[in-house]
Chain A
Amino acid sequence: MNENHNDLSTPLLELRGVRKAFPGVVANDDVSLSIKPSEIHALLGENGAGKSTLVKIIYGVLQPDEGELLWQGKPVHLAGPSAARDLGIGMVFQHFSLFEALTVAENIELALPSRRDGGPDRSELSDRITQVSAQYGLPLDPRRMVLDLSVGERQRIEIVRCLLQNPKLLIMDEPTSVLTPQEVARLFETLRRLASEGCAILYISHKLQEIRDLCETATILRGGKVVATCDPRQQSVQSLANMMIGETPLKPERPAGRTLARTNRLEVRGLSLPAQKVFGTALKDVSFSVRGGEVLGIAGVAGNGQPELMDALIGEVLTYPEAVRIDGKAVGRLGPRRRREAGACFVPEERNGHATAPDMPLADNGLLSADRRMGLTRGGWILARARDGFAGDVIKRFSVKANGIGAAAKSLSGGNLQKFSVGREIAQNPGVLVINQPTWGVDAGSAAAIQESILALAAGGAAVVVISQDLDELFAIADRIAVMSEGKLSRPKPIGEVTIEEIGLLMGGIHGEKSGAQG
């Protein structure tokens, strides 16, 4: 097969048995896929399925531990992105790297080889930008400043930048996550035209409908392995979702005799917030309530508004008073300290630098969120003995493996630091606990311990909200489940009445029963 690499039946790019492990996790395991010339090939998977690792390997950013890459039938070794570009692989990243204070042409020029090394000169470059952008329906004025451009226009710069190097394979990493529906339609036209002219496209996404609309082949990753290769046009959205998410998780036994309180301990009503950052998500009319003794699970693919919801619940971002109520008290305008006084505790997703200060000892990190609720200070002075005692209690009660209370937070393993961060909040015996990704990147033993302690807290009468991308986890500990997608939250449903298909559809961006039925 290797002798004739100009043959169209030879795959443009082939991966055989690629494996890549990082400490504690195998990101890609025995991954094989092949991309034909002028094919639009989807790489589909949940967050954490290993998509980005695989793409980094293809683009030369990472080297595989095992397995080989074949380019037009010949084994290749990609020492870096420049080697990949030399072969004809271009990539448009999810987050752009553009200088806002420079013009379109200047930004493109920066990424190209200099004139000495055979790059185009400036006036020629402007002409080529205009020509390429006209040819592929990507209107761009080379003289405009990037800071005046919309997100869609900025993406066009990145695409044109790749196209100027005549790629044979173009990698698009979640390109539609920042685009309006109209921009998406235009982008698809461009991609189809590119493919018809012989450029293969590797299209990375978790949006099922898009993939059905655009792609001819889909490779589906789950837990670092290829679970299926199929023609997405022959599949329904449900069957794709099933392949992406996996079988319906087993329902675990829950602690018996749990009774729900009559009153809502946490109430969120009509919470809307504009996006706080460039790539942030706006929250749109999010409403839910949680009763004492109940665990509400919030599922969803990352980047659909979970961190924004978390910030609004913690009080790092303020809203109007009635948007958030803790035990009936309107706290939407109060900061984190006042919300803790009202009875709520929080565990944010990022344990290093958000939930804890990495360079500080555990004793100080205990003080960080527990100073008022646990009486660790008096009149503005730190009570050293109380501070040390609290940190010591958390370490002991939640079996945190650490070199004493003087150990810096960053010296702990991920699982142990997470046990400390969760334990610090649970030890304060809150009436409301909101916890984002409780077991992300945590070993199985620690994960089970964390989940048990969450259930125990709820059994004691607290209202708990668990935001997680791990559906197995939500099905294991939640009483009701809702899905976040594009800043909206679906209506929470009891766990017994919901199917994995419904959750998958909601996660893929299809809202409500109506659109679910047509898929």
Chain B
Amino acid sequence: MIRLEAKGERSRLFAYLSPVLAMVLTVATGALLFEMMGKPAGPALYAYFIQPFTTLYGASELGVKATPLILIGLGLSVGFRANVWNIGAEGQLTLGAIAGGALALAFYDVETPLLLPAMMIAGVLGGMAWAAIPAFLRVKFNANEILVSLMLTYVALLLLSYLVHGPMRDPDGFNFPESRLFHASATVPTLIPGTRLHWGAVFAVAAAGVIWLMLARSMLGFQLKILGDAPRAARFAGYREPKLVWFSLLLSGGLAGLAGALEVSGTVGQLVPTISPGYGFTAIIVAFLGRLHPVGVVLGGLTMALTYIGGETAQIEIGLPAAVTGLFQGVLLFYLLGCDVLINYRLRFGRKLAIG
């Protein structure tokens, strides 16, 4: 029989080392898998982890993929601290993309500098509206926000599919399920010419700063932390749980919606049936990888972005299947959770010893 026994003191150092350890183990496991699939591990790992950085375009793609991951991860980490488990960021991202995209399509023949900011605001509101549903149901009926937000993701994806197949389809698009291409004033300008890295990356870093300030210095951040750490103490202090639940869900929904609007107007340039390769779900890993800390989320976002890009390179260069991206992400989460458990608990083998 194997038991877990809590260790007395939790090590701060190891709490931060855990993600690093998990990453090392993931790479080692990856190497083993590549060998088993008959691909030499050395070149495969090179293709996965090094090659993307050999070109400016490859390196800039890291920022492109990290931008939505960081934005969503930041929002989720705030909620997770308060024990508010928004698992449906993918759906909120989709609604943000739809709201932002719809605005771009509605004004497809109007050139104005106001359009882009309006699209971003529409994206934020779209994500918030989608997150408001689980918030309302949890506050009013104590419905589990994990299930509600997750299920709404599929509703959002079907809604997008309906729109691009129907009302928002490009009239001159030969019946392809895509919208019109957005014109220049509905497109986020790039930071570096010749790449897809756009101003959204700056937003993401700025958002990390704001969230850090809120968590470290504001009473609101303090209340969220107390609610997550000791819900009874939060009630004793008189903090209003419904208010904090609303805030957490609207913040994470709004940031996911912003990520969605940035994605369609910056990276994709039109509405298509699949806007995100699962950013909303991957951002959950980002939040935990980053220890629910804003700076950690930025680093975690960059790390997970690498699994996407590396996966693409590995497909092209050595013909690994596309599933390798998801596999790496899953293995990383597995090791991260495992390392966290083993840092806080120690394994005991055999039966509990009787005293006396």
Interface residues of A in 351-373 (CB under 8 A from B): 353-360, 364, 367-369, 371
Q: Which residues of B contact A80 (CB under 8 A)?
A: 354
CB <8 Å contact, A381 and B230: no
Interface string of B11-37 (1 = CB under 8 A from A): 000000000000000000000000000
Query: Is B229 at the interface (CB under 8 A from chain A)?
Result: yes
Of all chain A residues, the one with the shortest Cβ separation from B216 is: A382
Q: Which residues of B contact A353 (CB under 8 A)?
A: 230, 232-233
CB <8 Å contact, A346 and B356: no
Known: A63-B355, A336-B238, A369-B237. A382 touches B232 (CB 8 A): no
CB <8 Å contact, A357 and B233: yes
Pick the 6 closest A-B CB pairs, nearest first. Answer: A336-B238, A337-B238, A357-B230, A354-B232, A357-B233, A335-B238
Known: A353-B233, A357-B226, A368-B237. A380 touches B354 (CB 8 A): no
Interface string of A332-357 (1 = CB under 8 A from B): 00011111100000101010011111
Q: Which residues of B contact A381 (CB under 8 A)?
A: 217-219
- List 25 A-B pairs, Cβ < 8 Å: A63-B354, A63-B356, A66-B356, A80-B354, A315-B238, A335-B240, A336-B235, A336-B236, A336-B237, A337-B238, A339-B238, A340-B238, A348-B236, A350-B232, A354-B236, A356-B230, A357-B226, A357-B230, A359-B229, A359-B230, A360-B229, A367-B222, A368-B237, A381-B217, A384-B217
Known: A64-B356, A353-B230. A377 touches B236 (CB 8 A): no
Query: Is A127 at the interface (CB under 8 A from chain B)?
Result: no
CB <8 Å contact, A360 and B219: no
Q: Which of B220, B226, B229, B235 contacts A380 (CB 8 A)?
A: B220
Known: A64-B356, A316-B236. A358 touches B230 (CB 8 A): yes
CB <8 Å contact, A377 and B232: no
- Bound CA–CA A77/B354 (angstroms): 10
Query: Is A314 at the interface (CB under 8 A from chain B)?
Result: yes
Q: Which residues of A contact B232 (CB under 8 A)?
A: 350, 353-354
Query: Is B225 at the interface (CB under 8 A from chain A)?
Result: yes
Interface residues of B in 199-220 (CB under 8 A from A): 217-220
CB <8 Å contact, A360 and B225: yes
- Bound CA–CA A149/B107 (angstroms): 63
Known: A348-B236, A356-B230, A368-B236. A382 touches B354 (CB 8 A): no
CB <8 Å contact, B222 and A354: no
CB <8 Å contact, A360 and B237: no
Taking A357-B230, A359-B230, A369-B237 as known contacts, 20 extra A-B pairs with beta carbons closer than 8 A to each other, sorted by chain A number, are: A63-B354, A65-B356, A316-B236, A335-B238, A336-B235, A336-B238, A337-B237, A337-B238, A353-B230, A355-B233, A356-B233, A357-B233, A368-B226, A368-B233, A368-B237, A371-B219, A377-B219, A380-B218, A381-B217, A384-B217
- Bound CA–CA A307/B222 (angstroms): 26
Q: Which residues of A contact B233 (CB under 8 A)?
A: 353-357, 368
Residue positions of B touching A, CB distance < 8 A: 217-220, 222, 225-226, 229-230, 232-233, 235-238, 240, 354-356
Of all chain A residues, the one with the shortest Cβ separation from B355 is: A63
Query: Is A79 at the interface (CB under 8 A from chain B)?
Result: yes
Q: Which residues of B contact A359 (CB under 8 A)?
A: 229-230
Of all chain A residues, the one with the shortest Cβ separation from B232 is: A354
Q: Which residues of B contact A336 (CB under 8 A)?
A: 235-238
- Bound CA–CA A498/B356 (angstroms): 46
Q: Which residues of A contact B238 (CB under 8 A)?
A: 315, 335-340
- Bound CA–CA A351/B21 (angstroms): 36
Shortest CB distance A41–B (Å): 24
Shortest CB distance B90–A (Å): 31
Shortest CB distance B232–A (Å): 5
- Bound CA–CA A315/B236 (angstroms): 8
Shortest CB distance B220–A (Å): 6
Of all chain B residues, the one with the shortest Cβ separation from A354 is: B232
Interface residues on A, range: 35 or more
- Bound CA–CA A66/B355 (angstroms): 10
Q: Which residues of B contact A346 (CB under 8 A)?
A: 236
Of all chain A residues, the one with the shortest Cβ separation from B9 is: A411
Of all chain A residues, the one with the shortest Cβ separation from B234 is: A357
Which of A64, A66, A337, A380 has the largest number of chain B CB atoms within 10 A?
A: A380
Q: Which residues of B contact A368 (CB under 8 A)?
A: 226, 233, 236-237
Q: Which residues of B contact A356 (CB under 8 A)?
A: 230, 233
Q: Which residues of A contact B220 (CB under 8 A)?
A: 380
Of all chain B residues, the one with the shortest Cβ separation from A339 is: B238
Of all chain A residues, the one with the shortest Cβ separation from B352 is: A80
CB <8 Å contact, B355 and A369: no
Shortest CB distance A342–B (Å): 12
Shortest CB distance B77–A (Å): 17
- Bound CA–CA A79/B355 (angstroms): 9
Shortest CB distance A276–B (Å): 12
Q: Which residues of A contact B354 (CB under 8 A)?
A: 63, 77, 79-80
Shortest CB distance A409–B (Å): 9
- Bound CA–CA A380/B232 (angstroms): 22
- Bound CA–CA A381/B240 (angstroms): 17
- Bound CA–CA A304/B220 (angstroms): 36
- Bound CA–CA A380/B217 (angstroms): 9
CB <8 Å contact, A65 and B355: yes
Of all chain A residues, the one with the shortest Cβ separation from B239 is: A337
Shortest CB distance A371–B (Å): 7
Q: Which residues of A contact B217 (CB under 8 A)?
A: 381-382, 384
Known: A350-B232, A353-B232. A382 touches B356 (CB 8 A): no
Q: Which residues of B contact A384 (CB under 8 A)?
A: 217
- Bound CA–CA A350/B235 (angstroms): 13
CB <8 Å contact, A382 and B237: no
Q: Which of A64, A79, A314, A382 contacts B218 (CB 8 A)?
A: A382
CB <8 Å contact, B356 and A357: no
- Bound CA–CA A506/B215 (angstroms): 50
- Bound CA–CA A314/B236 (angstroms): 7
Q: Which residues of B contact A367 (CB under 8 A)?
A: 222
Of all chain B residues, the one with the shortest Cβ separation from A316 is: B235
Shortest CB distance A27–B (Å): 14
- Bound CA–CA A357/B232 (angstroms): 8
- Bound CA–CA A380/B237 (angstroms): 15
- Bound CA–CA A354/B218 (angstroms): 22
- Bound CA–CA A449/B260 (angstroms): 59
Q: Which residues of B contact A358 (CB under 8 A)?
A: 229-230
Of all chain B residues, the one with the shortest Cβ separation from A352 is: B230
- Bound CA–CA A229/B229 (angstroms): 47
Of all chain B residues, the one with the shortest Cβ separation from A68 is: B356
Which of A367, A377, A382 has the largest number of chain B CB atoms within 10 A?
A: A382
CB <8 Å contact, A382 and B230: no
